[in-house]
Structure 1
Amino acid sequence: MAKLLKPALVCSALLLAGCSSINPTNWFAAHRMDIQQGNYVTEDSVARVKPGMNRSQVRFLLGTPLLTDIFHANRWDYLYRIERPGQPVEEKSLVVYFSANDQVERVDGQAFPAIRPQLDASNAIGQAKQ
């Protein structure tokens, strides 16, 4: 029995060293992808939507709405949901309300922060010299 214990320990150590994760709960779990659903709407694009705009202008700025309800024809719903393994589900909802003459009345809800390019020190110095 002692002769088999040493090779078994060596084989176990080699098998564990080849694993990318030492967490045993993840060894037999299937790979899970990020699941995105809906419209990714930023604060910049929402700020451009002004009262009085028509539906085609809103569609140009925000994209096609995820929900258009025939029972509530005066509103467009922009929903976004993302599921990432090991992280809480992230959801945002934005509603654009239209008046009877198909012009924007108001916008309610949440949007994602605008993505701004980050300048590193080398770019800032190069731009300062120009």
Structure 2
Amino acid sequence: MKARLLTVFMTSSLLLTGCSVVNFLTPHKLDIPQGNEITANQVELLRVGMTRAQVRFVLGTPLLTDPFHKDRWDYIFRDSRAGVVRESHDFKVFFNDNSLVRWEGSYFPAPKTNQVEKTKPLPPESNLMSMPINPGDPNSKDVEVKPLLKEGS
């Protein structure tokens, strides 16, 4: 009797501890940012009165078009790492019929200018060595055009 009771107790305790092991065996979650990345440069291009097609060209296709709010598009961005949301932006665009009325929400700031671009050398000024030569142009003063055949030969 004690052996059966001990076997039942050991089996049930092993099964119950197996349930707690499941928390350690979770699948790996990929760190993939999802949604629309709306930047400050894109928001600067928005103008009141733009059509839906123009807004779609500037911002892209909205992540959510709610059937209950047909005059509102939602651009949502979520960046989660290991199941924890690190960054979240919600941007909403409102229409009246087919024209843009207003927009609101958070978006990515304008990207900082790269220091390399600031120190990039300017292109050289007009230089005869880099100018294309057109020998067929009779108005060219820099290139002497010689005929292939002499006259009278």
Common fold: TM-score over 0.5: yes
Amino acid of the residue matched to residue 76 of structure 1? W
Bigger-Rg structure (1/2): 2
Decide which of 95, 102, 112 is 1:106's aligned counterpart.
102
1:35-74 to 2 correspondences below 5 Å: 35-74=32-71
Distance 2:69 2:84 in 1: 34
After superposition, the Cα gap between the structure-2 partners of 1:86 and 1:36, relative to the gap in structure 1 and judged at 3 Å, is closer
For 1:47, the aligned partner's letter is: E
CA distance in 1, matches of 2:87, 2:60: 20
The residue type equivalent to 1:64 in the other structure is T
State, as a whole percentage, how many aligned pairs show the same letter: 40
Shift of 1:33: 3.0
Secondary structure at the aligned position of 1:57 is classed as helix
CA distance in 2, matches of 1:119, 1:86: 35
Question: Unaligned 5+ residue runs, structure 2?
Answer: 1-24, 126-153
1:125–1:62 Cα change, 3 Å? closer
What root-mean-square deviation, in Å, do the aligned CA atoms of Structure 1 and Structure 2 show?
A: 2.8
**Alpha-carbon distance, 1:75 to partner:** 0.3
The residue that corresponds to 2:122 in the other structure is 127
Measured in 2, the distance between the counterparts of 1:92 and 1:112 equals 8
Number of equivalenced pairs: 101
User: 1: distance between equivalents of 2:111 and 2:28?
Assistant: 29
Q: With structure 2 as the length reference, what TM-score do the two structures score? A: 0.57
The Cα of 1:85 is off from its aligned counterpart by 4.2
Query: 2:62 is paired with a residue of what secondary structure?
Result: coil
CA distance in 2, matches of 1:78, 1:91: 11
TM-score by length of 1: 0.66
Segments ≥4 residues shifted beyond 2 Å: 28-33, 84-88, 125-130
- Structure 1 residues 53-98: Cα deviation after superposition (integer angstroms, max 9, x where no partner): 0000000000000000111001000000001249752100000000
Which protein is richer in helix relative to its size?
1
1:25 maps to none
